[in-house]
Every structure is written in structure tokens, then in C-alpha cells.
Amino acid sequence: MANARTSSGPANPRFFTRSGPFDAQALAEAAGATLVPPREGSFPAGGYTGIAPLQGAGAEDVSFLDNRRYASLLEGTQAGLIIVAPAFADKVPAHSAALVSATPYLAWSRVARLFHPKAPPNPGVHPSAVVDASAVVDPSAEIGPFVVVGARAEIGPRCVIGAHAVVGDGVVLGADCRIGSQVTLSHAMVGERVIILPGARIGQDGFGFAVGPNGFETVPQLGQVVLEHDVEIGANTTIDRGSVNDTVIGAGSRLDNLVQIGHNAQLGRCCIVVAQAGISGSTVLEDYVTVAAQAGLIGHIRIGAKARIGAQCGVMSDVESGADVIGSPAMPFREFFRNVAVLRKLSKKASGPAEDGSGKG
């Protein structure tokens, strides 16, 4: 049995698929980068076989540098091929080739995906799965153990549904979706290439109630959830279906683990919502908005395109496009830090007499 404490480096083959080797030109084309041959020596005859960090890479490995803090690691690395920004191209060791890119992290992502593509679906329905007779499951889809697929649900080509997931009545999944184990999907229309990590809950009742003479009365939640193409949803994230309007997550958006999206919320294209953030009902995020960890947004507000909401921010009113806000209540970054500086000065003044022992102001 393998030692649980033993690591085989990045992309342990026990867990990740491997591809390759690839020659330098193929990697340059995949990365969209400019290939610079080594000043000493030559490319490995058998091509490059994998990826590794600078400090652990060998002559047949590809590595990268994206943060100047780690520039000193270039001196001692044995990596055969290094992805760098133009500013570091002349610092690559003589024995290493370089892939020069204005966006080295993006180039690294593309190379890593080339070496480690997603495992292809294993088409078929597991014997323990329960699939309603009226559901439509594409023959190329993989339906895992103990999955439940409800009436009139549609599972598109090459989808992978993990163990114990529930695809509720009427739910539609587009092509190439990956649904993690123990995900529950109801009242949802899902686009293509959507990834939902384990434990997420999509389409449950929104938090809607009216106050009657004898207490709370639940308001029917009659909308749905729309996940557009290329959305990724983190583990244990929850997205409520709309009350009357739909809850929409725009194409290309990324939601981290443990995010809460309230009913009727509308997220535009390529929004980012980081862990433990909560967006209340009927709030609108325009395209390319970033919401950092533990931020909270009240309902019925609009966040303009490309705005950035800082960590632990309490947003209680509209935010203009392109604005950067932080604090609770939210305010522009400069105003927030100016206030912090003033408070520090006042605190020092207030503590001055006690500190010098004179008793005089």
C-alpha cells in the first residue's frame, strides 16, 4: 500500500490523467507564447513529459514564473522549459528554453491542461442509478452510482453525473457538464460545459415569506435557476430559484465554495464570487464584477460592470461601474483607508496623556 504521506509531486497519477510527452513547439502553440530555445544545449529528444514547480523541476519538465517574489528561484532551477513574462526572459537559465508570454499564468494553465486533460466520460448508466422512464439521457453521458434522474429531465452529450447526485424533474443539462457527487439540482436550466462541485444545492426554495395574522406564510417560489455556458459552481454553494423572475448566473462566471445566491439575483458575464460571500435576492451584478470573500450584499441593489467588492464588505446601496469598495458600510477604497488613518491618529492622541504619565493634555 502506498504511504499516505508520500507525494509524487504535482498531478499524482493516482488522481489525475496524464498526457504527453509534447515537443516545445506544440507547447508554444497551446500556450499562445513565443518559444525561445536554450542558449546552451538543446531541447530534450523525447519532448517534455510533465509540469513541476521551479524548485522541483527537471530537464524534461515545464515550469513557470508569474510572481516576481519568486524570481530568485530561476537561478537554481533545472526546469527544461520555463513560462515567463517578457521582463524575465533574459533571466531564464542558459540550459532552459523559455515560453515568453504577456500572460504567463494563462499560458501555464493551457500547458497544464494539455498535460492533464479531464478524464473522458465512461458512457452508460450505473446499475444502482434510478432514471425515470421519461428522462432523456444521451448515450455518451456517464451516470454514476446511486444517481437519481427525475421525470422529463434531459442529460446532454458527454455529461458526467457523480455518485448520489440528484437531477430533479424537468432539469436540463447541456453538453459536457460535470456534476459532482451529492449535488442536487431542481428547477434549473443548465448550459454547456457547466461544472458543479460536490455538495452544491441548485434550485431550492428561495427565502420568501409574508407576515400574516398568525405568523409567517411561505410565498411560492415559482421561478427557476439559469446557469449559462461555462459557469463553474464551487462545493457546498447554494443558489435559490427565483420567486417569479429567474435567478441567473451569467456565462463564464465562477462561484467559489460556500457561496449563497438569493432568489431572483442576476449575475452578468464572467463574475467572480469568492468563498462565504452572500448575495441577497433581486440584486443585479453586471458583467465582470468581483465579490471577495465574506462580503454581504443586501437585496434589490445594482453593482455596475467591473466593480470590485472587497473582503468582508457590507454593501447596502448601488455601486457604480468600475468602483472599488471596502468596509461596512461599503465605501471607496481611498475613503476607507483615509478614515482608518484618521482613527489611528485620534487614538494616539487620546492615549497620549496616559502614556507620558504627566496627566497633562
Q: Which residues pair with 267 in a beta bridge?
A: 249, 285
Instruction: Copy the grid coordinates of residue 276.
Output: 462565504
Sign of CA dihedral 357, 358, 359, 361: negative
Do residues 248 and 228 lie in contact, with contact meaning Cβ atoms separated by under 8 Å?
A: yes
Q: 67 to each of 71, 78, 94, how far by Cα in Å?
A: 7, 18, 21
Tell me, yes or no, if 263 is annotated catalytic.
yes
Longest dimension (CA), the chain: 87
Distance between CA 108 and CA 112 in Å, rounded? Answer: 6
Do residues 137 and 152 lie in contact, with contact meaning Cβ atoms separated by under 8 Å?
A: no
CB neighbours of 343 closer than 8 A, spacing ≥ 6? none
Which amino acid makes up residue 232?
E
Containing H/E element for 204? strand 201-204
Among the listed residues 116, 164, 187, 263, the single catalytic one is 263
Distance between CA 294 and CA 308 in Å, rounded? Answer: 13
If one counts every other C-beta atom within 10 angstroms of the C-beta of residue 38, the result is 17
Containing H/E element for 240? strand 238-240
Distance between CA 229 and CA 52 in Å, rounded? Answer: 31
Instruction: Copy the grid coordinates of residue 356.
Output: 507620558
Do residues 256 and 232 lie in contact, with contact meaning Cβ atoms separated by under 8 Å?
A: no
Of the candidates 213, 261, 253, the one whose C-alpha atom is nearest the C-alpha of residue 236 is 261
Strand 124-125 and strand 61-64: the pairing is unpaired
Instruction: Copy the grid coordinates of residue 48.
Output: 517534455
Residues with active-site annotation: 263
